[in-house]
Amino acid sequence: MTDYLLTLRFDGRNFCGYQIQNTPNGEKRTVGGVLKKALISVFGSVEKLSGCSRTDSGVHATAYRVSFSADKTLPDDTVIRALNANLPDDVAVFECRTVSPDFHARYSVASKKYEYRIYTSPVRDPFKNGLFLHYPQKIDAEMLNASCRDFCGTHDFSSFMASGSKIKDTVRTVYDASFYSPCENEYVFSVTANGFLYNMVRIMVGTLLEIQSGKLPVGCIPSIIEKKDRSFAGFTAPPDGLYLFEVRYDKY
């Protein structure tokens, strides 16, 4: 068996996340589902197929990682060309490499980086629909960037986890968090951590926007973290502007 690691980019607007989902009415359209079909077309069969993260419906990725094993050993460039010939237009393989048998796309992760993209033009832009959150109000990036620093460190992020989530270990380490404007009317929240809880980034964004709007006080994030109660954090921002931006495997 040969073990492979793929890097994908996908537009999540028409996907129900990454994880393959079967329903009584058939299989939902997922990134994992269309990728598995392409892999079978190229390799015949695959084993140990695993994505690096369970992305929600509508979430995008610029560097999503997938590992799998196959009986065939093919050159990296051949794998990329063959898979892209069998994939739909909204997902593409950008990189392929062979890895050691003990590698796992999810469990070998050292850190993940997400970006959440917002645009603030008074008028909505049809070309940004589903790719940015439209927030037609002024944003004080300097103030929010200062608030971002309160996320950094090792904390119990229960307050920033979706209600009803079954995750028991809610401690995560945030290495870096920032809020900045790359160009006029566009803003980015960037956060890197050793792992994320369900909806964690989207709740972080909703909390920052409620600080911006005055619904929550400046400097409230340490108190929200300490309470370990979802009801004290802000709203859950929609998936539109969320991108899995980078996944690092430092050991490998």
Instruction: In whole angstroms, give the CA distance from residue 196 to residue 173.
Output: 9
Set 11, 56, 140, 150: catalytic member: 56
Whether residue 56 lies in the annotated active site: yes
Cα–Cα distance between 120 and 113 in angstroms, integer? 23
Place of tokens 């996908």: 10
Distance CA 64, CA 51 (A): 8
- DSSP letters of 32-91? HHHHHHHHHHHHS--EEEEES--PPTT-EEEEEEEEEEES----HHHHHHHHHHHS-TTE
46 with 1: CB under 8 angstroms?
Answer: no
- Residue in 225, 205, 174 with CA at minimum distance from that of residue 59: 205
- Distance (Å, rounded) from C-alpha 101 to C-alpha 104? 8
Which positions ≥6 away from 45 have C-beta within 8 Å? Answer: 70, 71
Of the candidates 187, 227, 243, which has an alpha carbon nearest to the alpha carbon of residue 53?
Answer: 243
* C-beta of residue 47 within 8 angstroms of C-beta of residue 126: no
Measured from the Cβ of residue 115, the count of other Cβ atoms closer than 10 Å reads 17
d(CA 140, CA 133): 16
Q: Give the residue numbers annotated as catalytic, written as ranges.
A: 56
